[in-house]
Structure 1
Amino acid sequence: MTIQYINTTEKLDALCRQIAKEPWIAMDTEFLREKTYYPQFCLLQIATPDWVACVDPLALPDLGKLFDVIYRPDIIKVLHSSRQDLEILYQLTGKVPGPIFDTQIAAPLLGFQENPGYAMLVSSFLNINLSKAHTRTDWTVRPLSEAQIQYAADDVIYLCKIYQIMCEQLEKLGRLHWLDNDFKQLNDTELYQISPANAWLKIKGKNKLTGRQLSIVQALSEWRESTAQSVNKPRNWLVRDDMLLELAKLQPANVAELAKVRGINERLVNRYGRVICDLINQAKQRPPIPLHEKGRPPKKTQQQEAVLDVLTAVVRIRAEENSLNPIVLATRKDLEKLIFGENDVPLLHGWRYTMVGEELQCLLDGCCSLNLSKENVVINKS
C-alpha cells in the first residue's frame, strides 16, 4: 500500500475528499511534549483498508478542512488508547471528534486484560511483532525518512485490520454495542481540560502535611500549573513536586531565604522568587482546601468477608461463561464498594450491570438464592 504523504494544501484537499466517502477511519498521532507543557502535534496518520496517509501539520498552514471532515458524526474514528490523541485534537479545535471506537477499551470484551497495549493486540490478532526502531524519534525534525513514515503508517494500517477483526468477533458474541456508553464518555470535554486550581490533587505526599503546609502546596501548585501553561513548558521544569513540598515545610518569607533552600533553581529565584514568597505568605494566613481523602473502608466482619467470597465466585462464574478475565468484570475492591452501598462502581453501569451487577445486587437484597452442588453453583431468582 502506497503511503500518501500530505504536506501541501492540494494533497490535503484530495485527502479530505477521500475521507468524506468513508464510514470509518483509523487514526493515530505522533507528538512531542518533553520540552513543552502542551503536546506538540507532529504527524497525523489516517487509514482505511484501501489507503493510508500521513498528514504533516508542520508543513501545512491550515488544517481546518481536515478537522471539518474528521469531526463528521457519520464517520467512526478508530483509535487505540485514544485519550492523548483526543487531547491534542481538543486543544487544537476546542472540540472532541465523535463517534469514537477505542480498541484498548474494547479488547477486554474479547478476553484480554484491562488496558492492553497496542503491541499486544497486534501480536495477538495479526501475529506481528511491532518494530521499536523509531520509538524515540524526534518527530519535529524534518525531513522525515521513509523508514520513519513507514513506521508511523504501520500503526494505522494494523489498527484497521484489528478493528475489522474486533467488530466481527464482537458481533458474533452480541457485544458490539456494549461499549457505546463508554465511547460516548470519551467525548466529554472535561476529560481534556486541565484546571490549575485542582493541580494540587496530583501531588504525592500532600496527605502528610499540616494545614498551613497544605495551603501553601495548593497555592504553589495552582501558580505552577498556570505559569507552565502560559509559557508552554513542563511543570517540573519550573518546580519539581518534591520542591513544592519542601517549600511548604520551610516556608521562606522572602527571596533571600528562598535562595538558601537547598536544590532550588537559581533561575527560578531570579524570575519568580518574589511571586513564590508572596504566595507562601498569603497561603499561611488562610485555611487549606479540605483533603476529602477517602477514608479506609470499614473493617469487614467475618460474615461480610464470606459474602465477599460468594460475590467473587459469582463474578468468576459469569466471567468464565463469557470468556472474560474476571478482573475486567469486577475487582475485589469493586465488590467491597457494592457491599457497603457505594454507587460509584462500574458494576452498576453498562454491560457489567447487565452481565453480573444486577445479579449481585439481587443476591445482596435477598431476591436471589444460591444452590450448590459438587460441580456447580446455580443462582435462583425468588
Structure 2
Amino acid sequence: MSNIQLHKHDLPAGLSLGPVVAVDTETMGLDPRRDRLCLVQLSSGDGSAHLVQIIPERLGGQGANCPNLKALLADPAVTKLFHFARFDIAAMLNGLGVLTAPVICTKIASKLVRTYTDRHGLKDLCRDLAGVEISKQQQTSDWGALELTPEQLTYAASDVLYLHKIWSRLEALLLREGRMDIAQAAYAFLPTLAKLDLLGYADPDLFHH
C-alpha cells in the first residue's frame, strides 16, 4: 500500500525527495491561465507521495506562499519528472509564480520512441511500461474543495507514483533509438513553451504558419 501524505499549504521544511522528483498537478480545469492550481503531487519514486494542497488566502489558506515547494521546483540540482509537463509547468507558473526546471516529460519521450502506437496517456504508460492499471475516475472531480476525499488523494498520488519506473523504460528506449539528444532539447524548451502558453500562444502556437 502506498504511503500518501497530505500537506496543507507547503512541503515540510527539510524534506528531501532525491535528485529526480516526479511531479503532477490538479487544477480547476484545463486552462492554466483561468483555472486555479489546487494540488501539487510529488514522489521520490519510493512508493510514497507528498501532496501539497494550495488554498487561496480568501479561503483561509496561504495561496502562493509555499517557499519550500517553490524552492524544490526551481532547484537546478533537482530534475522534475512529469507526464505532460507543458501543462503542469504553466499551471504552477501561473499559480505560484515559479518556473519549474530542469524537467523531463514522459509524454514527449513516449511520442518520440513509441511510434508504433498513438496511446501516450499516463494510463496507457502505466499499463504498458509499469504493469499497473490506474483509475482516472476522479480526474474530473472538484479539486478546489477544502477537504479532499480519500478517493481524490489516491487518484492524485497515482499520477506520480509510477513515473520513475515509466521513465526508466523510456530512457532506455530513447538511448536505444538514438533520440535522447532531441528529447533533452525538447525538455529544455518546455519552461519557455509554458511561458508562451500563458501569453496566449498555445493555439495557434508560435511556430504555426
SS in 1 for 2:162: helix
Partner residue, 1:102: 105
**1:117 equivalent among 117, 121, 128:** 121
Distance (whole Å) between structure 1 residues aligned to residue 195 and residue 140 of structure 2: 30
Partner residue, 2:141: 137
Change (3 A) 1:35 1:128: closer
Looking at secondary structure, tell me which structure has more helix per residue.
Answer: 1
Partner residue, 1:55: 52
Change (3 A) 1:172 1:36: closer
Partner residue, 1:81: 84
User: What CA deviation, in whole Å up to 9, does each residue of 1:353-375 have, x standing for no partner?
Assistant: xxxxxxxxxxxxxxxxxxxxxxx
Distance (whole Å) between structure 2 residues aligned to residue 26 and residue 120 of structure 1: 17
SS in 2 for 1:13: coil
| 1:38 aligned onto 2:34 | yes
Partner residue, 1:185: 189
User: What CA deviation, in whole Å up to 9, does each residue of 1:334-364 have, x standing for no partner?
Assistant: xxxxxxxxxxxxxxxxxxxxxxxxxxxxxxx
Distance (whole Å) between structure 1 residues aligned to residue 61 and residue 188 of structure 2: 31
SS in 1 for 2:51: strand
Partner residue, 1:285: none
Q: CA deviation at 1:36?
A: 9.6
Alignment length (residue pairs): 196
Per the normalisation by structure 1, the TM-score is 0.46
Q: Which has the higher contact order (CA 8 A, sep 6+)?
A: 2
* Structure with bigger gyration radius: 1
Structure 1 residue ranges without an equivalent (≥5): 203-292, 295-382
For the 8 Å contact 1:45–1:156, the answer to whether it is kept is: yes
Aligned-residue CA RMSD (Å): 2.9
| Counterparts of residues 99-248 of structure 1 (less than 5 Å) | 99-112=102-115, 113=117, 116-188=120-192, 190-195=195-200
- More displaced stretch, 46-55 vs 174-183: 174-183
User: What CA deviation, in whole Å up to 9, does each residue of 1:130-164 have, x standing for no partner?
Assistant: 21321221111132121210111011002222112
Distance (whole Å) between structure 1 residues aligned to residue 100 and residue 33 of structure 2: 22
Looking at secondary structure, tell me which structure has more strand per residue.
Answer: 2
Give the aligned residue type for 1:148. Q
Partner residue, 1:4: 5
For the 8 Å contact 2:32–2:91, the answer to whether it is kept is: no
Distance (whole Å) between structure 2 residues aligned to residue 57 and residue 181 of structure 1: 31
| Counterparts of residues 316-331 of structure 1 (less than 5 Å) | none
Change (3 A) 1:8 1:91: closer
Distance (whole Å) between structure 2 residues aligned to residue 190 and residue 53 of structure 1: 26
Distance (whole Å) between structure 2 residues aligned to residue 106 and residue 93 of structure 1: 27
Structure 2 residue ranges without an equivalent (≥5): none
Per the normalisation by structure 2, the TM-score is 0.80
**1:65 equivalent among 40, 65, 68:** 68
Give the aligned residue type for 2:12. D
User: What CA deviation, in whole Å up to 9, does each residue of 1:185-232 have, x standing for no partner?
Assistant: 11215423325xx89x86xxxxxxxxxxxxxxxxxxxxxxxxxxxxxx
Q: CA deviation at 1:13?
A: 2.5
Distance (whole Å) between structure 2 residues aligned to residue 111 and residue 13 of structure 1: 38
Change (3 A) 1:108 1:132: closer
Distance (whole Å) between structure 1 residues aligned to residue 146 and residue 97 of structure 2: 28
For the 8 Å contact 2:32–2:94, the answer to whether it is kept is: no
Distance (whole Å) between structure 2 residues aligned to residue 130 and residue 179 of structure 1: 26
Query: Percent identity over the alignment?
Result: 25
Q: CA deviation at 1:39?
A: 1.6
For the 8 Å contact 2:83–2:105, the answer to whether it is kept is: yes
Distance (whole Å) between structure 1 residues aligned to residue 30 and residue 173 of structure 2: 39
